Amino acid sequence: MIDFRPLHGFIPPYILNRIIAHGSEHQRSSALGTLTHVRNLRHNPGPPHTPPAAAALPRPGKPGQPQRSVHDAQNTMELPGQPVRLEGQAATGDPAVDEAYDALGATYDFFWKVLGRDSIDNKGFALVGSVHYGQDYENAFWNGAQMVFGDGDGEIFQRFTRSLDVVAHELAHGVTESEAGLIYANQSGALNESMSDVFGVLVKQFVLEQTADQADWLIGADLLTDKINGDGLRSMSNPGTAYDDPLLGKDPQPAHMREFVITREDNGGVHINSGIPNRAFYLAATTLGGFAWEKAGRIWYETLCDRRLANDASFSDFARLTVEHARQRFGIREVQAVQNGWAQVGVDLTEEH
Protein backbone atom coordinates (compact mmCIF):
# COMPACT_ATOMS: atom_id res chain seq x y z
CA MET A 1 0.00 0.00 0.00
CA ILE A 2 1.35 3.39 -0.98
CA ASP A 3 1.53 5.89 1.87
CA PHE A 4 -0.08 9.04 0.49
CA ARG A 5 1.00 11.16 3.49
CA PRO A 6 0.60 14.76 2.23
CA LEU A 7 -2.76 16.36 2.93
CA HIS A 8 -4.09 18.54 0.13
CA GLY A 9 -6.93 20.98 0.71
CA PHE A 10 -8.73 22.59 -2.19
CA ILE A 11 -9.20 26.08 -0.70
CA PRO A 12 -5.81 27.80 -0.41
CA PRO A 13 -4.81 29.28 2.96
CA TYR A 14 -4.57 32.79 1.48
CA ILE A 15 -8.32 32.73 0.77
CA LEU A 16 -9.15 31.50 4.26
CA ASN A 17 -6.87 34.16 5.76
CA ARG A 18 -8.63 36.82 3.70
CA ILE A 19 -12.02 35.70 5.05
CA ILE A 20 -10.66 35.70 8.61
CA ALA A 21 -9.50 39.29 8.12
CA HIS A 22 -12.55 40.69 6.32
CA GLY A 23 -15.54 38.42 6.90
CA SER A 24 -18.51 38.57 9.23
CA GLU A 25 -18.30 36.87 12.61
CA HIS A 26 -19.86 33.69 11.19
CA GLN A 27 -17.63 33.74 8.13
CA ARG A 28 -14.51 34.34 10.20
CA SER A 29 -15.39 31.54 12.58
CA SER A 30 -15.93 29.05 9.74
CA ALA A 31 -12.72 30.04 7.95
CA LEU A 32 -10.63 30.00 11.13
CA GLY A 33 -11.93 26.58 12.11
CA THR A 34 -11.12 25.23 8.66
CA LEU A 35 -7.65 26.79 8.48
CA THR A 36 -6.71 25.65 12.00
CA HIS A 37 -7.83 22.11 11.22
CA VAL A 38 -5.84 21.89 7.98
CA ARG A 39 -2.71 23.28 9.64
CA ASN A 40 -2.98 20.84 12.51
CA LEU A 41 -3.31 17.93 10.12
CA ARG A 42 -0.32 19.07 8.09
CA HIS A 43 1.91 19.66 11.09
CA ASN A 44 0.79 16.56 12.99
CA PRO A 45 0.04 13.96 10.34
CA GLY A 46 0.31 11.07 12.78
CA PRO A 47 0.95 7.55 11.52
CA PRO A 48 0.65 6.67 7.83
CA HIS A 49 -2.94 6.67 6.65
CA THR A 50 -4.74 3.39 6.25
CA PRO A 51 -7.87 3.08 4.18
CA PRO A 52 -11.20 2.93 6.01
CA ALA A 53 -12.80 -0.47 6.38
CA ALA A 54 -14.90 0.10 3.26
CA ALA A 55 -11.73 0.12 1.18
CA ALA A 56 -11.07 -3.46 2.26
CA LEU A 57 -14.29 -4.76 0.73
CA PRO A 58 -13.82 -7.36 -2.02
CA ARG A 59 -12.72 -5.73 -5.25
CA PRO A 60 -14.66 -6.14 -8.48
CA GLY A 61 -13.88 -9.19 -10.52
CA LYS A 62 -12.10 -7.22 -13.20
CA PRO A 63 -10.49 -3.80 -13.65
CA GLY A 64 -12.65 -1.09 -15.15
CA GLN A 65 -15.27 -1.10 -12.40
CA PRO A 66 -14.97 1.44 -9.58
CA GLN A 67 -15.54 0.47 -5.99
CA ARG A 68 -17.08 3.43 -4.20
CA SER A 69 -18.33 3.98 -0.69
CA VAL A 70 -19.73 7.24 0.60
CA HIS A 71 -20.01 7.94 4.32
CA ASP A 72 -21.81 10.58 6.39
CA ALA A 73 -19.59 12.24 9.01
CA GLN A 74 -22.75 13.81 10.48
CA ASN A 75 -21.04 17.19 11.02
CA THR A 76 -18.29 15.65 13.13
CA MET A 77 -14.61 15.26 12.25
CA GLU A 78 -14.63 11.52 12.78
CA LEU A 79 -13.73 9.56 9.66
CA PRO A 80 -15.01 7.85 7.71
CA GLY A 81 -18.44 8.16 9.38
CA GLN A 82 -21.56 6.11 8.76
CA PRO A 83 -21.67 4.24 5.43
CA VAL A 84 -24.65 5.52 3.46
CA ARG A 85 -24.07 4.45 -0.14
CA LEU A 86 -21.92 1.59 -1.37
CA GLU A 87 -21.06 0.58 -4.91
CA GLY A 88 -24.15 -0.30 -6.94
CA GLN A 89 -26.68 1.03 -4.42
CA ALA A 90 -29.44 3.43 -5.43
CA ALA A 91 -29.36 7.19 -4.90
CA THR A 92 -30.12 8.28 -1.35
CA GLY A 93 -31.76 11.64 -2.00
CA ASP A 94 -29.05 13.44 -0.02
CA PRO A 95 -27.44 15.70 -2.67
CA ALA A 96 -24.00 15.61 -1.02
CA VAL A 97 -23.97 11.80 -0.86
CA ASP A 98 -25.17 11.31 -4.41
CA GLU A 99 -22.93 14.03 -5.88
CA ALA A 100 -19.90 12.50 -4.19
CA TYR A 101 -20.82 9.02 -5.43
CA ASP A 102 -21.30 10.24 -9.02
CA ALA A 103 -18.14 12.35 -9.03
CA LEU A 104 -15.99 9.51 -7.71
CA GLY A 105 -17.38 7.32 -10.47
CA ALA A 106 -16.86 9.94 -13.18
CA THR A 107 -13.25 10.42 -12.12
CA TYR A 108 -12.62 6.68 -12.11
CA ASP A 109 -14.22 6.36 -15.55
CA PHE A 110 -12.04 9.10 -17.00
CA PHE A 111 -8.80 7.56 -15.81
CA TRP A 112 -9.87 4.10 -16.92
CA LYS A 113 -11.47 4.88 -20.29
CA VAL A 114 -9.07 7.61 -21.39
CA LEU A 115 -5.77 6.63 -19.80
CA GLY A 116 -6.24 2.94 -19.03
CA ARG A 117 -5.55 3.57 -15.34
CA ASP A 118 -7.29 1.41 -12.75
CA SER A 119 -8.00 3.95 -9.99
CA ILE A 120 -5.55 6.11 -8.06
CA ASP A 121 -2.78 3.54 -7.68
CA ASN A 122 -3.53 1.71 -10.97
CA LYS A 123 -4.35 -1.34 -8.83
CA GLY A 124 -8.05 -0.80 -8.19
CA PHE A 125 -7.74 1.42 -5.10
CA ALA A 126 -11.23 1.72 -3.56
CA LEU A 127 -12.66 5.24 -3.65
CA VAL A 128 -13.97 6.35 -0.28
CA GLY A 129 -15.63 9.68 0.42
CA SER A 130 -17.03 11.31 3.54
CA VAL A 131 -19.59 14.13 3.32
CA HIS A 132 -21.05 16.56 5.89
CA TYR A 133 -17.64 16.87 7.50
CA GLY A 134 -17.41 19.30 10.41
CA GLN A 135 -19.49 22.41 11.02
CA ASP A 136 -19.59 24.82 8.06
CA TYR A 137 -16.29 23.29 6.93
CA GLU A 138 -14.92 25.30 4.01
CA ASN A 139 -12.80 22.78 2.20
CA ALA A 140 -12.48 19.43 0.50
CA PHE A 141 -9.35 17.37 0.88
CA TRP A 142 -7.60 14.12 0.09
CA ASN A 143 -6.01 12.74 3.26
CA GLY A 144 -4.07 9.90 1.69
CA ALA A 145 -6.80 7.31 2.16
CA GLN A 146 -10.04 8.99 1.17
CA MET A 147 -11.87 12.12 0.05
CA VAL A 148 -13.45 14.44 2.61
CA PHE A 149 -16.06 17.11 1.81
CA GLY A 150 -17.28 20.04 3.88
CA ASP A 151 -20.66 21.67 3.40
CA GLY A 152 -19.30 25.22 3.19
CA ASP A 153 -20.75 28.11 5.15
CA GLY A 154 -23.60 28.77 2.70
CA GLU A 155 -22.55 32.41 2.41
CA ILE A 156 -19.25 32.21 0.54
CA PHE A 157 -18.91 28.55 -0.36
CA GLN A 158 -21.59 26.02 -1.20
CA ARG A 159 -21.18 22.32 -0.48
CA PHE A 160 -17.99 21.01 -2.02
CA THR A 161 -19.57 17.98 -3.66
CA ARG A 162 -21.28 20.31 -6.16
CA SER A 163 -18.08 20.69 -8.18
CA LEU A 164 -16.98 17.65 -10.18
CA ASP A 165 -13.62 19.23 -11.01
CA VAL A 166 -12.93 19.71 -7.29
CA VAL A 167 -13.45 15.99 -6.63
CA ALA A 168 -11.29 15.03 -9.60
CA HIS A 169 -8.66 17.58 -8.55
CA GLU A 170 -8.33 16.07 -5.09
CA LEU A 171 -8.26 12.45 -6.29
CA ALA A 172 -5.57 13.41 -8.80
CA HIS A 173 -3.28 14.31 -5.91
CA GLY A 174 -3.29 10.62 -5.13
CA VAL A 175 -2.30 9.82 -8.72
CA THR A 176 0.55 12.32 -8.54
CA GLU A 177 1.76 10.89 -5.22
CA SER A 178 1.64 7.40 -6.70
CA GLU A 179 3.52 8.25 -9.88
CA ALA A 180 5.87 11.18 -9.32
CA GLY A 181 5.70 12.09 -5.64
CA LEU A 182 6.14 15.75 -6.54
CA ILE A 183 7.27 17.52 -3.37
CA TYR A 184 4.50 19.83 -2.18
CA ALA A 185 6.52 23.05 -2.10
CA ASN A 186 7.79 25.72 -4.49
CA GLN A 187 7.79 24.85 -8.22
CA SER A 188 7.36 21.10 -7.77
CA GLY A 189 4.42 21.83 -5.45
CA ALA A 190 2.90 24.20 -8.00
CA LEU A 191 3.27 21.46 -10.60
CA ASN A 192 1.54 19.08 -8.17
CA GLU A 193 -1.37 21.52 -7.88
CA SER A 194 -1.40 22.16 -11.62
CA MET A 195 -1.62 18.45 -12.43
CA SER A 196 -4.71 18.25 -10.22
CA ASP A 197 -6.25 21.23 -12.00
CA VAL A 198 -5.45 19.65 -15.37
CA PHE A 199 -7.17 16.40 -14.45
CA GLY A 200 -9.99 18.29 -12.76
CA VAL A 201 -10.94 20.19 -15.92
CA LEU A 202 -10.36 17.14 -18.13
CA VAL A 203 -12.77 15.02 -16.11
CA LYS A 204 -15.38 17.79 -16.31
CA GLN A 205 -14.83 18.21 -20.04
CA PHE A 206 -15.00 14.43 -20.54
CA VAL A 207 -18.34 14.15 -18.74
CA LEU A 208 -19.77 17.15 -20.60
CA GLU A 209 -18.27 15.97 -23.91
CA GLN A 210 -16.75 19.40 -24.45
CA THR A 211 -13.95 20.25 -26.83
CA ALA A 212 -11.12 22.49 -25.68
CA ASP A 213 -12.77 25.46 -27.36
CA GLN A 214 -16.16 24.80 -25.74
CA ALA A 215 -14.88 24.43 -22.16
CA ASP A 216 -14.85 27.22 -19.56
CA TRP A 217 -11.43 26.19 -18.14
CA LEU A 218 -12.55 27.18 -14.64
CA ILE A 219 -11.75 25.33 -11.42
CA GLY A 220 -14.45 25.39 -8.75
CA ALA A 221 -17.06 27.15 -10.88
CA ASP A 222 -19.89 25.62 -8.83
CA LEU A 223 -18.54 26.51 -5.39
CA LEU A 224 -19.06 30.24 -4.95
CA THR A 225 -22.45 31.56 -3.86
CA ASP A 226 -24.20 34.40 -5.67
CA LYS A 227 -22.94 36.78 -2.98
CA ILE A 228 -19.37 36.50 -4.28
CA ASN A 229 -18.16 38.32 -7.39
CA GLY A 230 -16.34 35.53 -9.15
CA ASP A 231 -16.62 32.78 -11.73
CA GLY A 232 -14.65 30.18 -9.79
CA LEU A 233 -11.50 29.70 -7.71
CA ARG A 234 -9.04 29.55 -10.61
CA SER A 235 -9.02 30.17 -14.35
CA MET A 236 -6.65 28.08 -16.44
CA SER A 237 -7.25 30.17 -19.56
CA ASN A 238 -6.59 33.49 -17.85
CA PRO A 239 -4.99 33.06 -14.41
CA GLY A 240 -5.62 35.98 -12.09
CA THR A 241 -9.17 36.66 -13.32
CA ALA A 242 -11.29 34.00 -11.58
CA TYR A 243 -12.62 36.36 -8.90
CA ASP A 244 -12.38 39.97 -7.77
CA ASP A 245 -14.45 40.45 -4.66
CA PRO A 246 -14.43 42.83 -1.66
CA LEU A 247 -14.31 39.87 0.73
CA LEU A 248 -12.04 37.41 -1.12
CA GLY A 249 -9.87 40.06 -2.78
CA LYS A 250 -8.49 39.57 -6.28
CA ASP A 251 -7.34 36.26 -7.71
CA PRO A 252 -3.53 36.38 -7.18
CA GLN A 253 -2.47 33.80 -9.76
CA PRO A 254 0.24 34.83 -12.24
CA ALA A 255 -0.01 33.84 -15.90
CA HIS A 256 3.69 34.30 -16.77
CA MET A 257 7.06 33.63 -15.16
CA ARG A 258 7.80 37.37 -14.96
CA GLU A 259 4.96 37.52 -12.39
CA PHE A 260 6.14 34.45 -10.43
CA VAL A 261 5.31 34.98 -6.75
CA ILE A 262 8.07 34.36 -4.22
CA THR A 263 6.47 33.68 -0.84
CA ARG A 264 6.79 31.53 2.25
CA GLU A 265 3.03 31.20 2.47
CA ASP A 266 1.10 28.32 0.92
CA ASN A 267 4.20 26.07 0.80
CA GLY A 268 5.98 28.56 -1.41
CA GLY A 269 2.91 29.57 -3.40
CA VAL A 270 1.80 26.17 -4.67
CA HIS A 271 -1.79 27.31 -5.30
CA ILE A 272 -0.67 30.67 -6.68
CA ASN A 273 2.15 29.84 -9.11
CA SER A 274 0.28 26.83 -10.49
CA GLY A 275 -1.39 29.39 -12.77
CA ILE A 276 1.72 29.40 -14.96
CA PRO A 277 1.78 25.67 -15.91
CA ASN A 278 -2.04 25.74 -15.96
CA ARG A 279 -2.02 28.33 -18.72
CA ALA A 280 0.70 26.44 -20.62
CA PHE A 281 -1.58 23.39 -20.68
CA TYR A 282 -4.58 25.47 -21.75
CA LEU A 283 -2.58 27.03 -24.61
CA ALA A 284 -1.30 23.67 -25.84
CA ALA A 285 -4.76 22.07 -25.62
CA THR A 286 -6.60 24.88 -27.41
CA THR A 287 -3.93 25.10 -30.11
CA LEU A 288 -4.34 21.39 -30.82
CA GLY A 289 -8.14 21.63 -30.64
CA GLY A 290 -10.63 18.78 -30.33
CA PHE A 291 -10.95 16.99 -27.00
CA ALA A 292 -8.18 18.16 -24.68
CA TRP A 293 -7.73 14.73 -23.10
CA GLU A 294 -6.82 13.07 -26.40
CA LYS A 295 -3.48 14.81 -26.99
CA ALA A 296 -2.49 17.45 -24.44
CA GLY A 297 -3.96 15.41 -21.56
CA ARG A 298 -2.17 12.27 -22.74
CA ILE A 299 1.14 14.12 -23.01
CA TRP A 300 0.84 15.60 -19.51
CA TYR A 301 -0.17 12.24 -18.03
CA GLU A 302 2.72 10.37 -19.63
CA THR A 303 5.10 13.05 -18.39
CA LEU A 304 3.76 12.60 -14.87
CA CYS A 305 4.39 8.86 -15.14
CA ASP A 306 7.91 9.30 -16.57
CA ARG A 307 10.44 7.93 -14.07
CA ARG A 308 12.88 10.65 -15.16
CA LEU A 309 10.60 13.29 -13.61
CA ALA A 310 12.32 14.18 -10.33
CA ASN A 311 10.18 14.71 -7.25
CA ASP A 312 11.62 18.24 -6.95
CA ALA A 313 11.13 19.03 -10.64
CA SER A 314 11.06 22.64 -11.78
CA PHE A 315 8.66 24.01 -14.39
CA SER A 316 11.47 23.76 -16.96
CA ASP A 317 12.17 20.13 -16.05
CA PHE A 318 8.53 19.20 -16.52
CA ALA A 319 8.19 21.26 -19.70
CA ARG A 320 11.13 19.56 -21.42
CA LEU A 321 9.63 16.15 -20.75
CA THR A 322 6.23 17.22 -22.15
CA VAL A 323 7.95 18.19 -25.39
CA GLU A 324 9.70 14.84 -25.52
CA HIS A 325 6.47 12.92 -24.93
CA ALA A 326 4.68 15.00 -27.56
CA ARG A 327 7.39 13.96 -30.02
CA GLN A 328 7.35 10.29 -29.01
CA ARG A 329 3.58 9.81 -29.16
CA PHE A 330 2.49 12.29 -31.80
CA GLY A 331 4.42 14.54 -34.20
CA ILE A 332 5.80 17.94 -35.06
CA ARG A 333 2.46 19.78 -34.80
CA GLU A 334 1.96 18.55 -31.24
CA VAL A 335 5.59 19.32 -30.34
CA GLN A 336 5.23 22.88 -31.59
CA ALA A 337 1.94 23.39 -29.72
CA VAL A 338 3.52 22.24 -26.45
CA GLN A 339 6.69 24.28 -27.00
CA ASN A 340 4.67 27.39 -27.81
CA GLY A 341 2.46 26.90 -24.75
CA TRP A 342 5.46 26.94 -22.43
CA ALA A 343 7.11 29.79 -24.33
CA GLN A 344 4.03 31.98 -23.97
CA VAL A 345 4.16 31.68 -20.18
CA GLY A 346 7.90 32.33 -20.05
CA VAL A 347 9.13 28.87 -19.07
CA ASP A 348 12.62 28.30 -20.48
CA LEU A 349 12.96 24.87 -22.05
CA THR A 350 16.77 25.08 -21.97
CA GLU A 351 17.13 25.93 -18.29
CA GLU A 352 18.73 23.17 -16.24
CA HIS A 353 17.42 22.52 -12.73
Which pLDDT score, from 0 to 100, does residue 102 have? Answer: 98
Which pLDDT score, from 0 to 100, does residue 48 have? Answer: 39
Which pLDDT score, from 0 to 100, does residue 154 have? Answer: 94
Which pLDDT score, from 0 to 100, does residue 118 have? Answer: 96
Q: What is the pLDDT of residues 254-306, one digit of tens each?
A: 999 999 999 998 999 999 999 999 999 999 999 999 999 999 999 999 999 99
Query: Which pLDDT band holds residue 49 (cuts at 50, 70, 90)?
Result: very low
Which pLDDT score, from 0 to 100, does residue 329 have? Answer: 97
Which pLDDT score, from 0 to 100, does residue 43 have? Answer: 54
Which pLDDT score, from 0 to 100, does residue 2 have? Answer: 35
From 173, 271, 325, 334, active-site residue: 271
Residue 82 pLDDT > 50, yes or no? yes
Bridge-based pairing of strands 147-149 and 127-131 is parallel
Which pLDDT score, from 0 to 100, does residue 144 have? Answer: 86
Q: What angle do CA 9, 15, 16 make, to 5 degrees?
A: 75
Query: Which pLDDT band holds residue 50 (cuts at 50, 70, 90)?
Result: very low
Average pLDDT, the chain: 92
Contact (Cβ atoms closer than 8 angstroms) between residue 232 and residue 253? no
Write down the pTM of the prediction: 0.93
Residue 69 pLDDT > 90, yes or no? yes
Which pLDDT score, from 0 to 100, does residue 353 have? Answer: 63
271 classed as catalytic: yes
Residue 60 pLDDT > 70, yes or no? no
Structural domains for the chain: 8-179 (3.10.170.10), 186-344 (1.10.390.10)
Which pLDDT score, from 0 to 100, does residue 350 have? Answer: 86
From 170, 177, 193, 334, active-site residue: 170
Q: What is the pLDDT of residues 95-144, one digit of tens each?
A: 999 999 999 999 999 999 999 999 999 999 999 999 999 999 999 999 88
Which pLDDT score, from 0 to 100, does residue 7 have? Answer: 61
Which pLDDT score, from 0 to 100, does residue 42 have? Answer: 60
